Amino acid sequence: MKLVPANASAKNPPEERLVNLVVALVATEQGLTKDTILRSVSGYREQSDAGASKDALEKMFERDKENLRRLGVPIETIGDWADPDDLREARYRIPTAEYELPEDIAFTPAELALLNLAGGVWSEGSMSADARSGLRKIRALGISVDEPIIGYSPRISLREPAFAPLQQAIESGRIVTFSYLKPGEDAPRTRRVQPLALVEYEGRWHVFGNDLGVGAERTFLLTRIVDGVTITRETFDPALRDGAGDRALAGLAEVAARNIALLEVNPGTEAALRLSRRAETAEQGIRVPYVDAHVFADELASYGPEVRVVGPDDLRDQVIARLRATRDLHEGAA
């Protein structure tokens, strides 16, 4: 996206940019040109102000447009009436008639309560300040805005603070540096990486990219990144991102296939609920693939007596060590 301090990206995460784009395209009947969107819609505007190139912004808009269409948002492209195939001055809008719910759809009180709770994850049920700012700018351009418009500005909190700056660096094609603590090492080491994709695997976020220190592709667990992520001024070819997510997931699946834990789990427990989602039934219990033994040992130990590790021995020893450390800590406190 852009070169800014890492905490600035929290103001405009990708999800919020998509919502602001929807708000802007619903708000106009005649449509907005690409240039107007890049200058006026929150999420793109900040990128432009921070020095992002027009080419990068246009590619970002194209990706966002396709993502919204895949989600079922009917974005309409309006070309020149004299030459409909000429899209240089094309305008974009979301026809409200196609975007609104059909009249025959109704919600029960319970369903409305659930939708309200879901909306609370994103906002407080009213238009965000960024969305209002975007609408004011559109009005200032002399473009009519249909009201009322209710927007939801997402405020999804990600546990790993490294997520937002890494997403920012991926979109802007910028090299990052961060301190990374590998299992078994006493101190973190600085990594210099071309970040290509963020992927979720086993309920945990990873960043995949070219580790310039070793000259090879590597996958890093976000929870092992310490002291924050620094976005540098150095850029890399955005084409490197093509297929990166698939390569990352394939690599993680390959590692998990080589690491299989045999577990006995008490039925009806939280451990059974969470582990069964990624497990296969075995004669003695369940078999669960995992990527990082240390992280998986942390998870298994958190279930306490709900789960027992049959094998491998190294994983069982790590879980026992964590349980003993917890016991000793509580005995010392007593």
pLDDT, residue 151, reads: 40
**Range among 85-94, 120-129, 146-155, 281-290 with highest mean pLDDT value:** 281-290
Query: According to the per-residue pLDDT averaged within each range, which of 1-10, 59-68, 107-116, 184-193 is highest?
Result: 184-193
Give whole-number Cα distances, 206 to 73, 143, 197, 255, in Å: 29, 42, 8, 14
Give yes or no for residue 133 having a pLDDT over 80.
no
The neighbour count for residue 119, using CB atoms within 10 Å, is 14
Contact 167, 209 (CB under 8 A): no
Q: What sign results for the dihedral spanned by CA atoms 260, 264, 270, 272? A: positive
Position 12 scores a pLDDT of 59
What pLDDT is attached to residue 87? 60
Mean pLDDT on 75-80? 78
Confidence (pTM) = 0.54
pLDDT per residue over 38-48, tens digit each? 888 888 888 88
CATH match for 163-255 among 1.10.3470, 2.60.40, 3.40.1350, 2.30.30:
2.30.30
Torsion angle, CA of 59/63/64/67, rounded to 10 degrees? 170
Domain borders along the chain are 6-140, 163-255, 259-333
Digit-coded pLDDT (tens) for 215-233: 999 999 999 999 889 999 9
Among 304, 218, 319, 221, which residue's Cα sits nearest to residue 261? Answer: 319
Per-residue pLDDT band for 169 (boundaries 50, 70, 90) equals: very high
- Fill in the DSSP letter of residue 278: T
Report CA dihedral (102, 32, 22, 164) to the nearest 10 degrees: 170
- State the pLDDT confidence band at 27, using cuts at 50, 70 and 90: confident
